[in-house]
Homo-oligomer: A and B are copies of this chain.
Amino acid sequence: MLQTLKTITVNTNNQNLYEITDNVLSILHSSSIKNGLLNLSILHTSASLIIQENASPEVVDDLNVYFNKLVPMDSSLYKHNLEGKDDMPAHIKTSLTNTNLTISVKNNNLLLGTWQGIFLFEHRISPQQRKVHFHLLGE
């Protein structure tokens, strides 16, 4: 059994989806593990991880608009507003998406569909430095 543990750092600037597929592939290709399970964990509660279409920028725009409508940045709706109007909505959007993703690795490649990319979904407005943990277990 071999294990590769690394951390990916992503600097974000406003609510958006930031594709990290290449960051993940870069670590994967430097590992000697051919087949195994890859776990990605975001170490925050106000940003999340999703796998989504990476061909059309309109999909990303629509996701941003939809999630801001579903979880309004209206402080009157929440008790927890310590860090601003985007604070509690960020926690809720994280709950509605994912903190962890587990992806199959085959022949030292990510087993993703043709149109799938891995995204960090930033839910805060102000710039943030985000940490995503990469843990691959296999042989």
Contact = CB atoms under 8 A, between A and B. Distances in A.
What is the count of identical protomers in the complex?
3
B116 A133 contact: no
Contacts of A112: 41, 43
Contact of A37 (B56, B59, B63, B137): B137
| Contact-residue size bin, chain A (C-beta under 8 Å from the other chain) | 35 or more
A35 B4 CA distance: 10
A95 B50 contact: yes
Interface of A: 1, 3, 5, 35-37, 39, 41-45, 50-53, 56, 58-59, 61-63, 66, 70-71, 77-80, 82, 88, 91-92, 94-104, 106, 111-116, 131, 133, 135, 137-139
